[in-house]
Structures are given as C-alpha cells and as structure tokens.
Amino acid sequence: MITLSKRSAVEPFHAMDVLAEANRRRQAGRPVISMAVGQPSHAAPKASLDAAEAALKHGRIGYTDALGLRELREVIATSYRLRHATIIDPARIAVTTGSSAAFNLAFLGLFDVGDAVAIARPGYPAYRNILKALGLTVVEVPVTAETGYTLTPASLERAETRAGRKLKGVLLASPANPTGTVTGREALKRLITYCDSRNITFISDEIYHGLTFVGEETSAVEISDNAVVINSFSKYYCMTGWRIGWMVLPETLIRPIECLAQSMYISAPELSQLAATAAFSAEEELDVYKESYRTNRDFLLSRLPELGLPLVSPMDGAFYAYVDVSRYSNDSMEFAKLMLAEIDVAATPGLDFDPVEGHRAMRFSYAGSESDIAEAVGRIGGWLK
Ligand SMILES: Cc1ncc(COP(=O)(O)O)c(C=O)c1O
C-alpha cells in the first residue's frame, strides 16, 4: 500500500472538472458551449505562429538558459518602458513555464514552510492550492463592496489580527479573477507602500494586463523594485497551451530563482519562447480580439442581471462575469452540473474561488466568440424561466 502526503490533499480545480465533462459531452456530439475556462478562442498571434514554424523547420529545439532566451527577456523589458514608462534591466526578467510555474518559484524563493501569505477571497483557486501544497499558511482576506473588491491595508491588518500572525507575503491580481476588479494606481500604491514598510513581499499577478475595460492598468514595477511581478502570455496573447510566462524580480531574488528554476524546470520550452518573442509585435491583431471581449462584456453586463443573475462585482477587466445565482440555487456545484446536463452550457461554480460564499455564485468566462456567448445566454434565459 502506498501512503499519500498530506500536502497532496488539495481541492480539485472545479473549472477543470467542468471542462473535462464538457469535453466528454462534446465528443459525444452534444452542442456544448464552454464559458468555464478562462481561455481565448483565438489562436496565438500570426507572428508567433510564423516564428514557431520557422523554428521547427530550421532548428533543433533545446534547453535555454534557465531564466530564458536573452531576446525574449529584452523584449519583455522593453515592453515595460513602452507601456509603463519604467526602465527594467532584462537581467531582472525570468521566463517561466506559464505563470503557474512562476508562482511555485516565487513562493519557494520567498517563503519558508508555515509562513503566512494573504490572498483575496474570492480569488484564483490555484493560489490557495499551491500555497497549501508548499506548506504555507493561507490567509484568505474577503474582498467586498466595502473594500472595492480588492485588498487594502486595513483589510490586511484585520486579517493579520484575525490570523494572529504576521504576514510574509501578499498576492493580488489586477485585473482579478473572478471578480474582474481593476485595482487603481493610488490603491495599488497604498497597498505596496504598506507591504514595503512592514517587510511583507508584494506579489502582483498581472496576467490579465491588456484586458482592462474600465480604469487604469498599473504595473507594480512602476511603484516598487521590491515587488515580484508575475505575468503570462496565456490571456491577452492567446497562448494558453504554449505554457509561457514571466516574472520581474527584485535584484536579490534573481539568483535564487535561477537556481530553483534550473532544478525544477531546466528552462521554459524554447519553441514557446521563440513564439512569445514575436507576440509583442502583434498588438494590432490582439486588440481586435480585445474589442470582441468588450462586446461580450457589454452584452453580459446588461443581459445577466435581466435574467436574475446580478453581478457580484463590476466587470472592469479580465474576461469574467461573477454573478449571484442565489435566486435560483444555493449550491453552485449543482447549478453548474444541471446547466451543463440540461442546456449544454458550461460555467464554473463559485466554490472554486470562494469556499465560504461561493456556493451562491457562478463565474462565466466571456473569452469565447460573440456568437457562442449570445447563444449561451439565450439558452440560459430559456432554462431559468
Ligand atoms: C489570476 C490567474 N493567474 C494565473 C493563471 C495561470 O495562468 P498560466 O499558468 O496559463 O499563465 C490564471 C489562469 O486562469 C489566472 O486566472
């Protein structure tokens, strides 16, 4: 008999389970529309596909430096100059196997077993699961209308008091998943200044940058050299399956992350790195996709409340509508299962994002095509009647 580790007892990522069931139904010929997983329906930018094709024709795909190809690190650094008027030394960029690998590396580089790290609730479930699997203490901080659906110095202080321990880290996404909250420049500055003054490391998940519809998009690099910034090519760049992302690191963290990455991943896939390097020239193409998300957003913003599904939080960024389903159900898992079984529409139960209040919330991703979103909403409207 084998015995399992305690750390392996992580919650399932229900969105992935819903996706697996949706795929099974699709294979069985059902007309499934998936609004469950946050992934664009578009292909990677043409320039990226061309770069990958050329690499496949000409070269051997091998390991790269653990921190990534020099050209990619340089174009990433340049993007901070162009978009955020901030000069970043390419040496501070670490290329990673998606932002998911970046979380592992950052948590290992920054925290020891038992250290307390604050995250927003509702929030992206993998944060909680990775932190727990690494033996860290997760401090979930509720974000509500009162806190502008984001973390604030006051809510962190309250969380520290409640937890009875000092925080070592704070992790925040802006735009956020599932709330869509965009944390504005001043609010982000207050938060980072608070963390800096207390030796709490601020980790900024900027994976939804490029997908802000209301408000300003501020990177933590503009505010502090101590913040760890995590980003990815998965969302705005439409490259989920290429598993490629990056970090901007404080100086002292570069070498430890390099050493951890050498042993844990050797390097991010070279093919994906070459494709990602070309993605920065594809803004025109990608902004067209962004406009289609905006159309979906505006449509959902008016239609969902009409169907008795009011928004829990404003949809200012990312591509999610997080709605209150309590008029119909107090069991979001059951709601998701029934909706898929009866009208072939897949969405994610709020329990993924919020173990306390998520039983009465659902998340709908609007990264799909305009026609799919319209069809799905039509089906939901008929079903809820
Ligand atoms: C907030 C957030 N961070 C990180 C990720 C992970 O993305 P990836 O590993 O594809 O970069 C996701 C995926 O949905 C997300 O929503």
SS3 sequence of the chain: CCCCCHHHCCCCCHHHHHHHHHHHHHHCCCCCEECCCCCCCCCCCHHHHHHHHHHHHHCCCCCCCCCCCHHHHHHHHHHHHHHHCCCCCHHHEEEECHHHHHHHHHHHHHCCCCCEEEEEECCCHHHHHHHHHCCCEEEEEECCHHHCCCCCHHHHHHHHHHHCCCEEEEEEECCCCCCCCCCCHHHHHHHHHHHHHCCCEEEEECCCCCCECCCCCCCHHHCCCCCEEEEECCCCCCCHHHCCEEEECCHHHHHHHHHHHHHHCCCCCHHHHHHHHHHCCCHHHHHHHHHHHHHHHHHHHHHHHHCCCCECCCCCECCEEEEECCCCCCCHHHHHHHHHHHHCEECEEHHHCCCCCHHHEEEEECCCCHHHHHHHHHHHHHHHC
Buried b (16+ CB within 10 A) or exposed e, 37-48: bbbbebebbebb
Atom of ligand 1 nearest to the CA of 173: 1
- How many residues can be counted in the chain? 385
| Ligand 1 site, residue 206, Cβ cutoff 6 A | no
Q: Is-above-0.85 flag for pTM? A: yes
Residue 66 lies in a domain: yes
Q: Distance between CA 293 and CA 211 in Å, rounded? A: 9
Q: 139 and 224 share a domain?
A: yes
Q: Is the peptide bond before 175 cis (omega within 30 degrees of 0)?
A: yes
Per-residue pLDDT of the chain (385 residues; tens, 9 = 90+): 899 999 888 888 887 778 888 999 999 999 999 999 889 989 999 999 999 999 999 888 999 999 999 999 999 999 999 999 999 999 999 999 999 999 999 999 999 999 999 999 999 999 999 999 999 999 999 999 889 999 999 999 999 999 999 999 999 999 999 999 999 999 999 999 999 999 999 999 999 999 999 999 999 999 999 999 999 999 999 999 999 999 999 999 999 999 999 999 999 999 999 999 999 999 999 999 999 999 999 999 999 999 999 999 999 999 999 999 999 999 999 999 999 999 999 999 999 999 999 999 999 999 999 999 999 999 999 999 8
Nearest CA to 364 out of 325, 303, 323 is that of 323
| Ligand 1 site, residue 100, Cβ cutoff 6 A | yes
Residues 6 or more apart whose CB falls under 8 angstroms from that of 253 comprise: 109, 110, 228
Q: 360 and 292 share a domain?
A: yes
Buried b (16+ CB within 10 A) or exposed e, 65-92: ebbbbeebbebbbebbeeebeeebebeb
Amino acid occupying residue 38: G
Q: Which of 242, 259, 280 is the last residue of a domain?
A: 280
Residue 239 lies in a domain: yes
Residue 375 lies in a domain: yes
Residue 248 lies in a domain: yes
Atom of ligand 1 nearest to the CA of 97: 9
Q: Are 105 and 266 in contact (CB under 8 A)?
A: no
Smallest CA separation from ligand 1 atom 14, residue: 38
End-to-end Cα, the chain, rounded Å: 51
Q: 254 and 371 share a domain?
A: no
pLDDT recorded at residue 134: 96
pLDDT recorded at residue 184: 95
pLDDT recorded at residue 12: 81
Smallest CA separation from ligand 1 atom 4, residue: 99
Q: Are 33 and 345 in contact (CB under 8 A)?
A: yes
Q: 135 and 272 share a domain?
A: yes
Domain total in the chain: 2
Residue 54 lies in a domain: no
Token representation of residue 360: 């009465």
Q: 31 and 91 share a domain?
A: no
| Ligand 1 site, residue 276, Cβ cutoff 6 A | no
Q: Which of 230, 246, 280 is the last residue of a domain?
A: 280
| 179 CA to centre of own chain | 11
* HSE, side-chain direction, 13 A CA sphere, residue 231: 26
**CATH number (domain holding residue 135):** 3.40.640.10
Residues 6 or more apart whose CB falls under 8 angstroms from that of 126 comprise: 13, 100, 103
Q: 122 and 249 share a domain?
A: yes
Residue 159 lies in a domain: yes
Domain interval for residue 83 = 61-280
| Ligand 1 site, residue 39, Cβ cutoff 6 A | no
| Ligand 1 site, residue 205, Cβ cutoff 6 A | yes
Q: 271 and 287 share a domain?
A: no
Going from the Cα of 58 to the center of ligand 1, the distance in angstroms, rounded, reads 32
Q: Which of 260, 280, 300 is the last residue of a domain?
A: 280
Q: 198 and 326 share a domain?
A: no
Q: 194 and 317 share a domain?
A: no
Going from the Cα of 207 to the center of ligand 1, the distance in angstroms, rounded, reads 6
Token representation of residue 35: 């609004």
Pocket test for ligand 1, best of 99, 103, 151, 229 (most atoms within 8 A of CB): 99
